[in-house]
Structure 1
Amino acid sequence: MIWLNWRQFRLQALAGAAGLALVAGYLLYLGMDIRDAHDAYRSRCTDAAGCAQAGSQFQGAYMNTLLIVAAGLGLVPVVIGAFWGAPLIARELELGTHRLVWNQSVTRRRWLIGRMAFVGLAAMVLTGLVALLFTWVASPYDQVAADRFGTIEFGARDIAPIGYAFLAFTLGTAVGLFVRRTLPAMAITGVVFLAVQFAVPNLVRPHLMPPEKVTVPMTAQAINQARNLGSFTGAPVVGGLQVPGAPDAWISETSPLRTADGRTLDESAFDRCFATPPKTGAGGTFGDTAVCLSALDLHVDLEYQPSGRYWHFQLAETGLYLVAGALLTVIALRRVRRA
């Protein structure tokens, strides 16, 4: 069984090894470059002002690069599911070669378990190595930016990608068993897993653990520390805030700007401060607008996860994907009896 699995899988394995070598070469180069820049940042961090400026420049130099790399690595499980999982059984059924295999002494279930275990383990090892390399690459940046909970960043680091790879592979295998044609199975697997990658960070991850809650007064200083103010719809919202005393916490939900009695700030009042605030000559990111809003005695309610829960979320989400993959494996084993 092992020799047969290797012969059938060797082209995909060689392609995966070649891709891993190319990715590893680039990540090693990027990792050394980031470490050199991090050393330069630390040499300039002699006081609070110097640290803030150097840290901002360091983050700005690598934020987009790491985000793009993380997004690219997030496609690795999609590729595994579509090109390794979907054709695993669908190709046998499409070509009719399953009749020869299933007339041997090995049962269908044992044959399927052998194939899935061999290729699935390879998928998890490949993805795990890539994730390990990227975690090493991004570690100096993460120490400064403290943004590992980001939608894209979280899924490319540490152990979570291993769970993604397992689910993508089992999803592709199960879809191939039901669809029985290779190309449609590949397409369906890719689309479904992309939808899963979008849904889980936005709809599931924030609810894996009960969040902490805090009310933050919207002083002029707090507003000026935000990343954005307002929205396309004109709603009185503020984004990119930090939890006081916990700048590396993951804010999962931010309320609109609220008045002292807990009501949402009227959009007309927000628009007046945003578009035509009284001239005070105040500095900062939002200047006079921040001063105008702070005079209204506003606050926002935040729901957040402390940074110390990062590994709890990694384990919980990885476990979620592993359980889902195990359920798909059971479905595949039941389906193969009637294929």
Structure 2
Amino acid sequence: MIRMSLRQLRVQALVGAILLVLAATYLIRLGGDIRAVRDASQLPGQYRQTMLFLAAGFGLVPALIGAFWGAPLVARELETGTHRLVWNQSVPRRRWLAVKLAVLGLASMAVGGVLSALLTWAADPVDQVADDRFSAILFGARGIVPIGYAAFGFTAGAITGLLVRRTLPAMALVFLAVIAVQVAVPNLLRPHYMPAERITVPMSADAINQARSLGSITGGPVVGGLAVPNAWVTDTSAFLTPDGRQLSDTAFNECFDNAPETGATGTFGDTAVCLGELDLHVDLAYQPNQRFWSFQWIELGLYLGLSALLAAVGLWRVQRRVS
């Protein structure tokens, strides 16, 4: 059973092995180049775009594993009818599926773990200076969570193939589904793994000029991109007046569109000065960077739990419904 499962995906496995070797070679070379930079303070500016590109690219790995390793594993046998030959040889259905999931699932987790270990090593000098491993994109490409992503991608692909029973539709569905989950988790679940710390920040003109954005599409009194040292900011309130009420849209837009000319410099210039004179503040929720590994373990457990749930659904389905 194990040998048969491996032989069925030998082409995909060979392609995956070649890509893994190429990725490993590149990351080892990248890590060496990063460590050759004498002034560590230059690393974030020099390699920031590279780190974001790699993290985004590695985010596709679980979806690719699900589409090219997971989806064809069962769907192809159901399409061709070869599953009946195995079952007629007294191999229980659940054992047939369990062996497939276990063998290729462990291989997928190994791929995710190796890539993550190499990228984490290569990027470590940059991460230490930039101190932003908690960002939505970079977090998923560091540490141990990519192991869970790979397990989830493969299991989702295999079970989707079992349910859809057609290889190409299953590949497309699982690719989109895995990406959707990876977008949803950082935005909907990750900020709430542990209770957030909170802080009130006075919004002086200098503080406003340190933000990345001001206002919303609808003209709301909001500010974005405020930072807390050694922390991941998960939520920022709208501008609040001294009595704790939200600044009115009218007052905000007056400063935004018709701020008195003062010759002020900075990102938002006269607008920042106008708002700074209103004695405003914002409430920030944040997760300290020291919780990074706690969040890594929580998210790994989440994805492994989802994988186990999907596997249980597949084992139930193959016993009762698949013929």
Q: Deviations over 1:303-329 (max 9, x none)?
A: 111111111111111100101100111
Q: Deviations over 1:129-163 (max 9, x none)?
A: 01111111221111121111111111111111110
Is 1:333 the counterpart of 2:315 in the alignment?
yes
Structure 2 residue aligned with 1:17 = 17
Q: Report the Cα offset of residue 282 of structure 1.
A: 3.1
Q: Deviations over 1:107-129 (max 9, x none)?
A: 11112111111111110001110
Specify the SS of the correspondent of 1:302: strand
8 A Cα contact 1:258 1:298, kept in partner: yes
Structure 2 matches for 1:92-171, cutoff 5 A? 92-171=77-156
Q: Which of 151, 160, 171 lines up with 1:186 in the alignment?
A: 171
Q: Report the Cα offset of residue 182 of structure 1.
A: 0.6
Q: Quick one: which amino acid aligns to residue 207 of structure 2?
A: A
Is 1:35 the counterpart of 2:17 in the alignment?
no
8 A Cα contact 1:218 1:297, kept in partner: yes
Q: Which of 269, 278, 284 lines up with 1:287 in the alignment?
A: 269
Gaps of 5+ in 1: 42-54
Structure 2 matches for 1:225-304, cutoff 5 A? 225-243=210-228, 247-304=229-286
Counterpart-to-counterpart distance in 2, 1:85 and 1:7: 14
Specify the SS of the correspondent of 1:94: helix
Q: Answer with 220-229 or 13-22: which moved more.
A: 220-229
Indicate the percent of aligned positions where both proteins have the same amino acid. Answer: 61
8 A Cα contact 1:9 1:119, kept in partner: no
Query: TM-score, normalization: structure 1?
Result: 0.91
Gaps of 5+ in 2: none
8 A Cα contact 2:31 2:122, kept in partner: yes
Q: Quick one: which amino acid aligns to residue 27 of structure 2?
A: L
Counterpart-to-counterpart distance in 1, 2:13 and 2:195: 42
Counterpart-to-counterpart distance in 2, 1:2 and 1:193: 26
8 A Cα contact 1:231 1:237, kept in partner: yes
Is 1:219 the counterpart of 2:204 in the alignment?
yes
Specify the SS of the correspondent of 2:200: strand
Specify the SS of the correspondent of 1:253: strand
Structure 1 residue aligned with 2:50 = 65
Task: Give the number of equivalent residue pairs.
Answer: 321
8 A Cα contact 2:93 2:318, kept in partner: yes
Counterpart-to-counterpart distance in 1, 2:218 and 2:137: 25
